[in-house]
Amino acid sequence: MPPTFVYAMALLPYLALGAVVLAIAGVMALFPKTRPFGTRLAVAMVASYPGVLFYQLIAAPLVFAIILFWAGVFRFLRPTDSLEVAAYILLLISTVGVFGIASLVGFTTGWRFGWRLADVEWSAREAFAGDPVWSFVARLRSR
């Protein structure tokens, strides 16, 4: 299977869960009492998508470096069959783990940003202020 197919299959449950959350938020928007919460829920879910993709993009060079490291191990050390299986398992765990952690951090960052942004009193700059990655980028830009 090509890696893009595997990635798309892993992304589908997240998209389906997002559709369910947006449907719930849509139903909540029908009733005035729950409309503010439904709005925040919808904006937070929509904002989580770019958060996940952005953090995955940040993690991609690290995943690529992990793959290159293991390719070097296979090329120069020529492991035996049993060690090769163990190395493949470690490769799979490390790449999926890094990508999974990046996705989870991106989801929570995007969700938090959307939740704050849906509040009328917050601006986009204030919503980004609490995020450690955006704070780091702001410090780099100020230099």
Q: pLDDT tens-digit profile of 77-98?
A: 776 777 777 878 888 899 889 9
User: What's the mean pLDDT in 92-119?
Assistant: 89
Burial of 139: CB neighbours in 10 Å, binned 0-12, 13-18, 19+: exposed
pLDDT greater than 80 at residue 99: yes
Distance CA 143, CA 134 (A): 15
- Which two three-digit tokens encode residue 119? 């509040």
Distance CA 48, CA 115 (A): 10
φ, ψ of residue 106 to 5 degrees: the values are: -65, -40
Tell me what pLDDT residue 135 has.
Answer: 74
pTM of the prediction? Answer: 0.78
Tell me what pLDDT residue 137 has.
Answer: 72
Total structural domains in the chain? 1
Residues 41, 107: contact at Cβ < 8 Å?
no
The whole-chain average pLDDT of the chain stands at 85
Q: pLDDT tens-digit profile of 48-65?
A: 999 999 999 999 999 999
**Structural domain range at position 81:** 3-142
